[in-house]
Amino acid sequence: MTPHDHPAPAASILDRPGLRPLWEALHTRLSSGRPVTRVRLGPLDDPQREALADLLGMDRLPDPRPTVALAHLEEAVTELTGHTVRELVTRLVGPLGDRAGERRLHHDERAGLWAWLAGHDTVRAQPALADWAAACRTAGLVGGSTERTRTLLDHALTVLAALPGRAEPLPVLAARTLNGHSHALDDGTPLSTLVLRALATLYDTEPPQSAAQRRALWTRAGVADDDLSATVLAAGLRPAGDGLLALLTTTCADAGQAASLTLAHLRAPGELALPAPLVVHITENPSILALALRRFGPRCPPLVCTSGWPNSAAIQLLRLLADHGAALRYHGDFDGEGIRIAAHVMAKTPARPWRMTAADYRTAAARHPHAPHPGRVTPAPWDGELARAMEDHATAVVEELVADTLLEDLARHTKRNDAPGHAPTPEPTAVAGP
């Protein structure tokens, strides 16, 4: 039966203006998405009470604020029209919604967004960013939209994955990473603010408040470095070839000296080839490289020093060495920042840890129990026990305190390399894999 099949008396009863509050109240309740057994009306005036009494076949007027059972109403509507209350309300007022379903959908969308962010490769590779991800969740959705929020976060993660930069201006970085949008990281844009907050979390500093602080943070991340100011220390490298990089590193290695390589050297290295296999050990602090050169001189094994947080030159050199077949092994300080630096190096290059396990830390902490507190400790992706061990001991072990152990590793490495016909291999006791 269609609405046109309804008898005139039924249609006149249902379409009476006095029943409009009933249909609108039902539309609101049925659109909630929750079970409905009754609906409360009112206050109703006398014509509205008369219309309701006629519909329900009541022998007297209902209260001005009546409660109508849906089952009673369903019986009356079906008898008059052959349709359900839902069908009638949809015809008279409009399509029903499902607010509860919409809320569940929005909840699921938000939960999916934050789970995606927390599990993103960039965040998992550098667990310090988990705090940034949590802060993003606390801040909520951009404009109430999960889609807009996800797009903004995806762009931020794309930029973070590309850092440290290539000694390029900020607009060039933006254009390179964000499909040509050179102004996407301009000062004050939501994306720029989001990335800078992530960098502040990573470096354990306060979010920048001034233009000067923002520029300093970008520079620390390798953006707007110039080709000469970004440098990295290397020792014991003797690539074959007549390119500039091979000549510089070999000359310094033969003299028992470290080479200070600029980003310009690494951008135009020229011809070079590395012996295979080759292990390059990486240290966080220049003092370890200096001790190695003092002990081994021209026989110093291949070493690279990041000098704290690696700049664009350090990452460029490590990637270049890895691309030419070198195995990279990293050691740094056992404190909160040292763990974040190690995670950063391993996220940006194929480096693996060198004496950076929980067992290594416990051994070192037992030897130096009165060292300072390690500060904010974040998980180490390569060893799930390390952060817990550091929190338990509450002791920092800087790299210099284990220099003797590191130098002994390098000494064994040097002896093996000096053995006739021996190809260098990594020290199994000194290297821990994820």
CA distances from 315 to 231, 232, 423, 429 (A): 10, 9, 26, 26
Closest alpha carbon to 17 in 37, 60, 46: 46
Q: Which residue has the tokens 């074959």?
A: 240
Q: Helix, strand, or coil here: 240?
A: strand
- The one-letter amino acid code at 423 reads A
Question: Cα 414 to the chain's mean position, in Å?
Answer: 40
Q: Helix, strand, or coil here: 354?
A: strand
Distance CA 12, CA 51 (A): 10
CATH code assigned to 231-418: 3.40.1360
Closest alpha carbon to 304 in 335, 348, 259: 259
Phi, psi of 195 (to 5 degrees): -65, -40
DSSP result, 171-183: HHHHHHHTTT-TT
**Residues β-bridged to residue 328:** 280
Closest alpha carbon to 130 in 121, 114, 143, 118: 118
What string of pLDDT tens digits covers the 434 residues of the chain?
344 444 445 556 788 888 999 888 888 888 887 888 889 988 999 899 988 888 888 889 999 999 989 898 888 888 888 889 888 888 888 888 877 767 777 888 999 999 999 999 999 999 999 999 999 999 999 988 999 999 999 999 999 999 998 778 899 999 999 999 999 999 999 999 999 999 999 999 999 999 889 989 998 898 876 788 889 999 999 999 999 999 999 999 999 999 999 999 999 999 999 998 899 999 999 999 999 999 999 999 999 999 999 999 999 999 999 999 999 999 999 999 999 999 999 999 999 999 999 999 999 999 998 889 999 999 999 999 999 999 999 999 999 999 999 999 999 988 766 655 444 444 433 333 33
CA distances from 6 to 49, 59, 93, 240 (A): 23, 24, 18, 95
Q: Which helix (H) or strand (E) holds 231?
A: strand 231-235
Q: Name the maximum alpha-carbon separation found in the chain.
A: 113
Around 325, how many Cα atoms within 13 Å sit in the side-chain half-sphere? 10
Provide the residue count of the chain. Answer: 434
**Residues β-bridged to residue 304:** 234, 282
**Where are the domains positioned within the chain?**
3-97, 100-220, 231-418
Residue 42 burial (CB count, 10 A): 15
Q: Token pair of 136, please?
A: 């993003």
pLDDT reported for residue 427: 43
pLDDT reported for residue 225: 62
Reported pTM: 0.73
Distance CA 365, CA 334 (A): 9
Distance CA 412, CA 322 (A): 22
Distance CA 196, CA 160 (A): 10
Which residues touch 426 (CB under 8 Å, ≥6 apart)?
A: 279, 327, 329
Which residues touch 14 (CB under 8 Å, ≥6 apart)?
A: 6, 55, 77, 80, 81, 88, 92
pLDDT reported for residue 351: 98
Phi, psi of 280 (to 5 degrees): -115, 120
Given its phi and psi angles, is residue 260 left (phi above 0), alpha (psi -120 to 50 degrees) or beta? beta
pLDDT reported for residue 106: 82
CA distances from 335 to 347, 406, 433 (A): 18, 17, 19
Omega of the bond leading into 17 within 30 degrees of 0 (cis) = no
